[in-house]
Homo-oligomer: A and B are copies of this chain.
């Protein structure tokens, strides 16, 4: 390994001077160009790369952020991670990725590991299950700016990025309404998930405003579960139950895309064509949605942007820590977008 001392020797100056020059430190304004040139040339010649661990030991900076996902296999995560990665890259930060598999013990172990590595910030992708773990203790104490994606934390001091759920379902129901649907079935989310309530509120608000009557018999709730893939099975099962009641409906609005896939499977099995005989809308716009046939009409969460936004929130926090200001992180709500594909059609 080439050290700063070797560069010093090669260039004929002391390591102090080398350090000052290569870091463009304040003092470097006194150092003549010729000296700088020589040092830079020597560094280049030897292929000098400063040892980041020595540097961190001195100045405490790691240029690393921890990313915690609750379940990577949830297709909702990937685009978010992409957004995080891309934004960090621009800032020359590197992410340490951890997946807690929805297990508390794993969460705690990983948190400890990340703190040991002095990540400068933490981003939590709280998809699906996340019963408010008291992260705060350790985090606040350690002064690590933290942002959460997809869940509103119960604490100040932790930033958050969410999609505007209410707005999303309003767009969806508005779309169905405009297509002439009046008998609409709903597969609501599990009660313990915080997205469930606002999404339903969006529907209700629209219904009230536009005189749409909601048939309570056509409203079902997904069961609680800690498996991000189970909504598919639940969607399938609930739709089957719905069909058995023989209550007619011309459209179905699912809690999320995965649920919608399950519903489509059930409808197809029952010989009901989508969208000709029944329209289906989802929520999320996970990657699958575009590729299944028919393509799923859904409400897109701007996932890469949410990742990017989380990074910019914690960046603020990092600056604050650097300048010894108190950290305060914001809460952001991003607008969703209605993506109309082939799973919805006008009533005949």
Write the residues of chain A forming the contact surface with B, with a CB cutoff of 8 angstroms.
Answer: 49, 51-54, 56-57, 62, 64, 67, 72-73, 75, 77-79, 81-82, 85-86, 89, 92, 94-99, 101, 106, 110, 113-118, 232, 258, 261-262, 264-265, 268, 287-288, 290-294
B57 lies within 8 A of A54 (CB): yes
Further pairs besides A53-B62, A261-B292, A264-B293: 19, Cβ < 8 Å: A51-B57, A72-B85, A73-B78, A73-B79, A73-B82, A75-B75, A75-B287, A85-B97, A85-B99, A86-B99, A89-B106, A94-B96, A94-B117, A97-B97, A258-B291, A261-B291, A261-B293, A287-B288, A288-B291
Give the copy number: 2
B264 lies within 8 A of A232 (CB): no
**CA A81 to CA B57, docked complex, whole Å:** 31
Name the one of B67, B82, B293 contacting A72, with C-beta atoms under 8 angstroms: B82
**CA A261 to CA B113, docked complex, whole Å:** 41
Chain B proximity of A77: nearest CB distance (Å): 8
**CA A287 to CA B113, docked complex, whole Å:** 30
A112 and chain B: residue at smallest CB distance? B49
A263 and chain B: residue at smallest CB distance? B293
**CA A116 to CA B265, docked complex, whole Å:** 50
**CA A94 to CA B67, docked complex, whole Å:** 11
B72 lies within 8 A of A78 (CB): yes
Chain B proximity of A131: nearest CB distance (Å): 22
